[in-house]
Structure 1
Amino acid sequence: MSRITALVCAAFAPGGQYQNYFKAYTSSLGYNVSTADVFGCAGSLASNAALCGALNRHVAQLPQAQWGDTSKFYQSAPANYYARFWHNRAVGGKAYGFPYDDAANQSSYIALNNPQYMLIAAGW
């Protein structure tokens, strides 16, 4: 982990400058979870991938049927803008910016049964 990444992570951890980044948002929705738990999908969020994804993307206030609507992701703070950064730069918008980022089919992970070939092209 780079020194900058470590400093950013520490800032959002308990005792850090931004430890309450998600507090008002999660509390307004009736969830008592820490910012670290939201970013890490830990604690009570460890068994609820859809909710953790919705909190990271700032769509948990919407009806659950809209939690997978990518046009609504990251429109307001607080949100996991680190994850948004990677999604904005990834092929097809698929990236893995936080645990359970595959909720709402956002992961870049691909699994196939009995593949016959694979073609990969990269360019700039």
Structure 2
Amino acid sequence: MLTGYDVAVGENEATSAEDRSVTFQRSADAYASSVGLSAATSDIFGCAGRFAGDPTGCAALNRHTAQLPRAQWADPSRFYQQSPANWYAKFWHDRAINGRAYGFPYDVADQSSFVSHGDPQWLLVAVGW
């Protein structure tokens, strides 16, 4: 039975069509060297260690919204406005269909490209490069 449910996720068409080296030349990530926290960069990017049990807090650190009131942490218009931030995650969100990408673990606030649907009839996957 078809439900009419249709979703597309991943890189947008322009990013998918360009040469891989061009795509990666545009990604800049100064976050690791400028974050200034005592936690390991891998814990911040991986939402591990002290951040493993706090998905929204980890997302706020990656998006540079942790200084805002907690109610604003899930507002996409406030994401990646200044450093330090996970510019790598922003890079992929900027190039993704509907802005949804899995930029880091716990990419919460309806920003992940994760798709779940009961009783799917088919799946189309396009792989570039």
User: Is this a same-fold pair by TM over 0.5?
Assistant: yes
Q: TM-score, normalised by structure 2?
A: 0.66
The corresponding residue for 2:79 is 73
- Which consecutive residues of structure 1, in runs of 5 or more, have no partner in the other structure? 13-17, 27-31
- Which consecutive residues of structure 2, in runs of 5 or more, have no partner in the other structure? 1-23
By how many angstroms is 1:22 displaced? 1.2
Work out the CA distance in 1 between the residues paired with 2:100 and 2:122.
18
Residue type matched to 2:35 in 1?
F
Which residue, 103, 114, 120 being the options, matches 1:97? 103
Residue type matched to 2:72 in 1?
Q
The corresponding residue for 1:113 is 118
Which residue, 72, 88, 94 being the options, matches 1:88? 94
Deviations 1:64-84 (Å, cap 9, x if unpaired)? Answer: 111110000000100000000
Deviations 1:25-59 (Å, cap 9, x if unpaired)? Answer: x5xxxxx5233211111110011110000100000
By how many angstroms is 1:119 displaced? 7.8
Identify if the C-alpha distance between structure 1 residues 92 and 118 changes in structure 2 by more than 3 Å, giving closer, same or farther: farther
Residue type matched to 2:117 in 1?
L
By how many angstroms is 1:98 displaced? 1.1
Please say if residues 74 and 84 of structure 1, whose CA atoms lie closer than 8 Å, have aligned partners that are also in contact: yes
The corresponding residue for 1:51 is 57
- By relative contact order (CA 8 Å, sep 6+), the higher-ranking structure is 2
Which residue, 12, 30, 39 being the options, matches 2:45? 39
By how many angstroms is 1:118 displaced? 5.0
Please say if residues 74 and 81 of structure 1, whose CA atoms lie closer than 8 Å, have aligned partners that are also in contact: yes
Aligned residues: 99
Q: TM-score, normalised by structure 1?
A: 0.69
Indicate yes or no: 2:75 matched with 1:62: no
Work out the CA distance in 2 between the residues paired with 1:22 and 1:81.
12
Please say if residues 96 and 108 of structure 1, whose CA atoms lie closer than 8 Å, have aligned partners that are also in contact: yes
